[in-house]
Amino acid sequence: MRIESLDVYYLSMPEILDIGDGSQDALLVRLQAGGHIGWGECEASPLTAIAALVCPMSHSACKPVRESVLGQRLDGVKDIQRIGNLVRENSLDLLQADHMLSGIDSAMWDLLGRRLDEPAYRLLGYERAHPKTPYASVLFGDTPQETLDKARGIRERGFRAAKFGWGPYGKGTVEADRDQVHAAREGLGKEGILLVDAGTVWVDDLAAAQLRLPALEECRATWLEEPFVSGALDAYKRLAGMCRTVRLAGGEGSHNYYMAQHMVDHAGIGYLQIDAGRIGGISVAKRAADYARAHGVTFVNHTFTSHLALSASLQPYAGAEEGALCEYPVELKPVAWAITREHLLPDADGLLRLPEAPGLGVTPALEGLRRYLVDVEIRAKGELLYRTPAF
């Protein structure tokens, strides 16, 4: 079969808040081939990704992403790899292309899975999908009291693990950060797995990050996530050398396989966090997961948006051992919740299972999404390059 159509849909809350919550908008990708439909989702700026999809060619290595996808044969897993390589070659100098490709790649796995009547993880080579331990992923409260209340709520909902991130953490004093981490630990109780996400707040300032380690170790945090921006491998490595019990986690900023590999090779991390909506899709995330495993680093999904993106980000390490951690956003904005008809909910044991259904196992709930659909129109060189299509 050939890819006959490639449509993208920008969805957004009516109002976007200036907070670290990536669930406020989304870019959905719909592929059609041979009577089948596949869906995927891209991080992060929908309008910019659309521009990467439809822009005029600048030169032979800077072509619009759709040119490498539309009309291509899609008969098996190798075609997904081939199309990804085409995009990377033809859009080498188009920086945003990796993010746009991510949604397309996920949609290809969804479509192929539906055609072959197999879950995506089986097409990836996993016999079965082992259930994961979801960690409730939330923003720090504005105050330690708010964080305490959030942590208690998470524990009451049955989560064994929780991650607190962004918000005020790292922006004020060391003491204020200590109070936040202690509040989170108190709320989760002694047994809860506590994870802390600094959201790159120290950029590459080793000293600032080092000052936060004692509180994290007092509170038995399992990991400190993104003390630095993704590329700051040296700072990561040096901070890792200063940790006694806490491990470092990072990698969500990776937008290609090599960046993930560099984190594993040179950053001293214990956990590699990959967003299938950024790294180039499920295909690239799977390569990163295999590389991490082979090098003794634990792979974890990064997901802070819909359950379509969640399913896509879980497929690449579906075969990891039972009970491995997975990120599970629990403060989704209505648009992100509304994206899928089905939702991935923890079972009675508090474990999260991938759907035993073809492709990604979830389907967009189009009717409910209409009110979030953003009207976009892009014209250049006398042509209408993009207008929001009908669902």
Q: Which of 4, 75, 93, 117 binds a second copy (CB under 8 A)?
A: 93
Nearest alpha carbon to residue 339 among 46, 29, 50 = 29
Edge-first strand order for the sheet with 25-33 is 3-12, 25-33, 36-42
Q: Is position 81 an interface residue for a second copy (rule: CB under 8 A)? A: no
Q: Is position 261 an interface residue for a second copy (rule: CB under 8 A)? A: yes
Single-letter code of the amino acid located at 102 = S
Cβ proximity to a second copy, 17 vs 207, nearer residue:
17
Residues 222-241 that bind a second copy (CB under 8 A): 229-234
Residues 116 and 20: their CA atoms lie apart, in Å, by 38
Q: Which two tokens stand for residue 283?
A: 């295909």
Cβ proximity to a second copy, 204 vs 342, nearer residue:
204
Residues 280-319 that bind a second copy (CB under 8 A): none
With CB under 8 A as the rule, give the number of residues binding a second copy. 70
Q: Tokens 């991080």 identify what position?
A: 43
Q: Which two tokens stand for residue 251?
A: 């990698």
Q: Is position 5 an interface residue for a second copy (rule: CB under 8 A)? A: no
Q: Measuring CA to CA, how many Å separate 206 from each of 70, 105, 203, 291?
A: 46, 36, 9, 27
Q: Are strands 3-12 and 25-33 parallel, antiparallel or unpaired?
A: antiparallel
Q: Measuring CA to CA, how many Å separate 169 from each of 89, 194, 203, 224, 355?
A: 40, 15, 13, 12, 35
Phi, psi for 385 (deg, rounded to 5): -85, -30
Cβ proximity to a second copy, 32 vs 45, nearer residue:
45
CB of 288 to a second copy, least distance (A): 12
Q: Is position 166 an interface residue for a second copy (rule: CB under 8 A)? A: yes
Q: Is position 183 an interface residue for a second copy (rule: CB under 8 A)? A: no
Cβ proximity to a second copy, 52 vs 151, nearer residue:
52
Phi, psi for 358 (deg, rounded to 5): -60, 150
Cβ proximity to a second copy, 231 vs 350, nearer residue:
231
Single-letter code of the amino acid located at 227 = P
Q: Is position 330 an interface residue for a second copy (rule: CB under 8 A)? A: no
Residues 228 and 297: their CA atoms lie apart, in Å, by 18
Count of beta carbons in the 10 Å neighbourhood of residue 208 = 16
Q: Return the axis-axis angle of helices 144-156 and 174-188, rounded to nearest 10°.
A: 20
Q: Is position 256 an interface residue for a second copy (rule: CB under 8 A)? A: yes
Q: Is position 255 an interface residue for a second copy (rule: CB under 8 A)? A: yes
Q: Is position 24 an interface residue for a second copy (rule: CB under 8 A)? A: yes
Stretch that binds a second copy, among 181-189, 199-207, 310-318, 359-367 (CB under 8 A): 199-207
Q: Is position 381 an interface residue for a second copy (rule: CB under 8 A)? A: yes
CB of 289 to a second copy, least distance (A): 17
Q: Which of 168, 227, 253, 358 binds a second copy (CB under 8 A)?
A: 253
Interacting residue ranges for a second copy, rule: CB under 8 A: 10, 12, 16-22, 24-25, 43-48, 50-52, 54-62, 85, 88-89, 92-96, 98-99, 166, 199-200, 203-204, 229-234, 253, 255-259, 261-262, 266, 278, 374-382, 385
